[in-house]
Structure 1
Amino acid sequence: MKLLNYTTKYFAAILLFALLIFTVIFYFQMLDEIYDSLDDGLENQKILVINRAKKDPTILHKTSFEDGYYTIHPTTYSEIRNVKDSYRDTLMYMLNEKDYEPVRLLETAFRQGDHYYKLKVITSMVEEDDLIEDLLYSILWLYIGLVVGVLLLNNWVLKRLWRPFYSLLNKLKNFNIEKEQSIDFEKTNIEEFQLLNLQVEKLLQKSIDSFKAQKQFIENASHELQTPLAISINKLELLAEKEELSPKNIALLASVLENLERMTRLNQALLLLSKIDNKQFVEEENLNIPEIINQIVYDFSDFAKHRNIEISISSQDAIQKFMNKDLAVILFTNLIKNAIVHASLNSIIRIKINEQKVSIENESETGKLDHQKLFSRFYKVNTRKNSTGLGLSIAKAIADKYGLALTYTYDRYHLFIVDFTKNSQAT
């Protein structure tokens, strides 16, 4: 949820709560004012009736409301001795409405001459259910208006105020440290955004400097380590060609050469992993994955034939992926080579390409692999001297870089799947 919508949600909830409280208070205050106004009107009508009775005694015998808003009943002093003005709500049948409607009634008493009279005066009042309904609709429209006002405020005023923040977010989203690009911060007069831009600029510069230093270190390490290793191997190979060496010395020399070559492969694999982790493979293009797999299988055909292993490819889907070509080749080379190396002699490796997935299945004498450690660095299924234990780690790093799901399952056969549709963990 966006920040503006998040704040709008809380504004709407607070407004609703505040309006509910306001509505209850306003309702009772308004009701109190209505009663005060009605009671004042009834008192005024009482005075008018009493004054009129003094001038026109004939109204003293008006005992029903059929032709007016008051009634007068003769009484005795003993009955009205303790009578005070009293106001109450009641119902009266209204001819125009043909129903009973609420009225406000004033009961009082007065003296005229030597006689005493009870006086009842009525006036129509607003029905409470109508009042509540009107008030509810009024508050509802007020709430809707306020919410719409808040939305307009957020999307017009606040959006303009937060523009530097969203501009920064968008530039950070598109920032690519591999390209060593800089960010042009939008000018703003808001102190907090100025501070944010300053701190982000410092962090980015520090990250870029660290990336450059790490990249330089990897390049230097690659050169400084590979060169002496290559020289040492060449000199030892020349030494091995000399005839005066005894078989024992030749065996020792061969062991040293084998370990140096393994160190060379290990160094290359670790440097490759470092480059992948540091995202130093910038160049990308739209690749035809089945075409790359077919080429890799062709390159390994002699090796597979030497082990009397058949590689079967069935392709029912055209998979296109925008990625670095070298990394794509390394990914499937490691998986296919791993299948050939660990497959049983005289077996078949099946590669299937369908439903945007590439599956590589092989039979092996080893049982189910530990999927918790399978993609860890230096994990080895056996003690093969030529293995660095980094092939699957490199494949997993490449898959993660491009959001591919590299998974492993076992059901009589070892099955590795590269899923181009989603990103998930190995199972």
Structure 2
Amino acid sequence: MKVSLKYYTIKYLIMILLLIIAVWAGLFYAYILDEVHDNVDDGLRDRKIQIIKAVYLNPQLLKNNDFGFNEFKINPITEKEYQNKSRLYDKMFYMEYDDKDQPYRVLEADFIDQYKNPQRLVIRTSTVEEDELIYDLTTALVVLYILLVISIIAVNGYLLNKAMRPFYLILKKLKKYQFGIPFSQEEQKYSITEFEELNKEINEMIERNELVFYQQKQFIENASHELQTPLAIVINKIDLLIQNDNLDKKNLNFLTEVKNDLRRMVGLNKSLLMLSKIENSQFNKTSGIDFNTLVTHLVQNYADFIEFKKVKVNILEKGMFIADFNQDLADILLSNLLKNAIKYNNEEGTLNIMIENNRITFQNSGIPVSLDESKIFTRFYKHTSDHTSTGLGLSIIKTIIKQYPGWEVTYKFEDKMHYFMIQKNRI
């Protein structure tokens, strides 16, 4: 799934920050916990020293064999039980106030009293407050972690939106740009150097492309127009030769074939020029076109051709197809579809033109096999051996449709009938 640069950046930034903050929070928690334990242990060690000193001053303390108010006890031990090192550990003791066991930190230390007897000093201190501190610390860390992540996402989202705004403006400008259409190059200043340079390079690239486009367009138009004149002259000269009574049948047939080839060249030249003009967006003016009326007029205009082919034409109006379209392109579009449906129809065949609110369908009889759907709209594709065809009629239709977003032309073959459909989709 594709995402925008902004969300792509935020996604990986969040993943990295989550990991970094989680590691930091863990280390911070461990450090604070260690400091709390060290503080408690240091207090116990200090109390040990103070109690042993007090024992030497007051021997009565040796009789303190149970934990009392001072939270320590002293019990005699054997020499085998005596250990030089102090021991620190955690242990649960019953607490009357809560009526349950609570955690304590305990220090055991062995010493020799003033009577040369080994004694074991056990000091304890409640760690209930320590546990509450750790719980509060954990809660605070979790809340801080969540707030940090939310804050970072919000701040980065805001900063990325602000920083990427020039990029989206440049992208919007590129989306609107089309060859041959005047392009607004308003002076825009960007605070980010890279976007300023990008905008400058894009403007220069567009100027270069427009120059090349204009030169190519002029060359194609000039070449096509220049070809029309000599071709027309040659055809007229051949007509004069054909009218010569001294020509035998063989030469007459030869000249007729040459004339037909030249006429085909003229048609090919006109079609290529038309394709160039359409692709160069030279038919920009649009208006509301009544396709129902246009189809009716075209059928009337091609009445002689229809009668010659003995094709039965039926116009079935199931709705009103009115759309914003260029008048010339609409004429070319429907004319090519109509001519194609008549020319390649069977003699005494059928042509049904169905008009709906957003679709026109040309249904015609013809060769009893499907055409190649992957190639039918490509240039110079021919599905018959007809040498008079330029192979550009359907390509022109496809090129016209491409000029209008939301429109499409499709082909299908069903029940030995060919269907060409023009449809305007809602966008």
* Class of the TM-score when normalised by the shorter of the 2 chains: 0.7 to 0.9
- Shift in CA distance, 220/119, structure 1 to aligned 2, threshold 3 Å: same
Q: Distance in 2 between matches of 1:407 and 1:365?
A: 18
1:20 aligned residue (19, 22, 44): 22
Q: Distance in 2 between matches of 1:365 and 1:191?
A: 63
Q: Which residue of 2 aligns with 1:388?
A: 390
Q: Which residue of 1 aligns with 2:113?
A: 112
- Shift in CA distance, 132/325, structure 1 to aligned 2, threshold 3 Å: farther
Q: Which residue of 2 aligns with 1:274?
A: 276
1:408 aligned residue (407, 411, 422): 411
Please identify, of 178-187 and 36-45, the stretch whose mean Cα deviation from structure 2 is larger: 178-187
Q: Distance in 1 between matches of 2:420 and 2:317?
A: 16
Q: Distance in 2 between matches of 1:127 and 1:338?
A: 93
Q: Which residue of 2 aligns with 1:305?
A: 307
Q: Which residue of 2 aligns with 1:95?
A: 96
Shift of 1:338: 1.2
Aligned residue type for 1:255: E
SS in structure 2 opposite 1:256?
Answer: helix
Q: Distance in 1 between matches of 2:130 and 2:402?
A: 68
Q: Which residue of 1 aligns with 2:425?
A: 421
1:345 aligned residue (337, 344, 347): 347
Shift of 1:189: 5.0
Shift of 1:334: 1.7
Shift of 1:201: 2.4
Correspondence list, 1:276-291, <5 A: 276-291=278-293
- Shift in CA distance, 107/212, structure 1 to aligned 2, threshold 3 Å: same
- Shift in CA distance, 207/131, structure 1 to aligned 2, threshold 3 Å: farther
CA contact (8 A) 2:33 2:134 kept: no
Q: Distance in 1 between matches of 2:371 and 2:357?
A: 26
- 2:227 equivalent to 1:225: yes
Aligned residue type for 1:102: P
CA contact (8 A) 1:273 1:394 kept: yes
Please identify, of 361-370 and 307-316, the stretch whose mean Cα deviation from structure 2 is larger: 307-316
Please identify, of 370-379 and 385-394, the stretch whose mean Cα deviation from structure 2 is larger: 370-379
SS in structure 2 opposite 1:178?
Answer: coil
Q: Distance in 1 between matches of 2:184 and 2:338?
A: 41
Q: Distance in 1 between matches of 2:81 and 2:295?
A: 113
Q: Which runs of 5+ in 2 are unaligned?
A: none
Aligned residue type for 2:105: R
Shift of 1:131: 6.9
Report Cα offsets for 1:126-162 as digits up to 9, x if no partner: 6998777655544443344334433443454444444
Q: Which residue of 2 aligns with 1:49?
A: 51
Report Cα offsets for 1:354-401 as digits up to 9, x if no partner: 474333222213412122322222221212232111111111222233
CA contact (8 A) 2:10 2:157 kept: no
- Shift in CA distance, 150/106, structure 1 to aligned 2, threshold 3 Å: same
CA contact (8 A) 1:102 1:127 kept: no
Please identify, of 4-13 and 133-142, the stretch whose mean Cα deviation from structure 2 is larger: 133-142
Q: Which residue of 1 aligns with 2:183?
A: 181
Q: Which residue of 2 aligns with 1:260?
A: 262
SS in structure 1 opposite 2:361?
Answer: strand
CA contact (8 A) 1:343 1:364 kept: yes
Shift of 1:87: 0.7
Aligned residue type for 2:101: Y
Q: Which runs of 5+ in 1 are unaligned?
A: none
- Shift in CA distance, 270/31, structure 1 to aligned 2, threshold 3 Å: same
Shift of 1:64: 3.5
Q: Distance in 2 between matches of 1:69 and 1:388?
A: 109
SS in structure 1 opposite 2:276?
Answer: helix
Q: Distance in 1 between matches of 2:320 and 2:56?
A: 109
Identical aligned residues as a percent:
37
SS in structure 1 opposite 2:198?
Answer: helix
Correspondence list, 1:1-400, <5 A: 1-54=3-56, 56-65=58-67, 67-80=69-82, 82-114=83-115, 115-125=117-127, 134=136, 137-238=139-240, 240-241=242-243, 249-354=251-356, 356-400=358-402
CA contact (8 A) 1:368 1:410 kept: yes
- Shift in CA distance, 47/128, structure 1 to aligned 2, threshold 3 Å: closer
- Shift in CA distance, 384/39, structure 1 to aligned 2, threshold 3 Å: same
Q: Distance in 1 between matches of 2:131 and 2:419?
A: 73
Please identify, of 266-275 and 226-235, the stretch whose mean Cα deviation from structure 2 is larger: 226-235
- Shift in CA distance, 61/129, structure 1 to aligned 2, threshold 3 Å: closer
Aligned residue type for 1:409: K
SS in structure 2 opposite 1:327?
Answer: helix
CA contact (8 A) 1:86 1:108 kept: yes
Q: Provide the TM-score with structure 2 as the length reference.
A: 0.86
SS in structure 1 opposite 2:398?
Answer: helix
Q: Distance in 2 between matches of 1:100 and 1:171?
A: 73
- Shift in CA distance, 93/230, structure 1 to aligned 2, threshold 3 Å: farther
Q: Distance in 2 between matches of 1:297 and 1:239?
A: 36
Report Cα offsets for 1:38-74 as digits up to 9, x if no partner: 1011112223333444555444333334645222223
RMSD: 3.1
Report Cα offsets for 1:155-203 as digits up to 9, x if no partner: 5444444443333222222223322324234223543333323322221
Q: Distance in 2 between matches of 1:154 and 1:320?
A: 49
CA contact (8 A) 1:290 1:319 kept: yes
Aligned residue type for 2:103: P
Q: Distance in 2 between matches of 1:221 and 1:119?
A: 113
SS in structure 2 opposite 1:186?
Answer: coil
Q: Distance in 1 between matches of 2:130 and 2:311?
A: 92
Aligned residue type for 2:207: Q
Alignment coverage as a number of residue pairs? 422
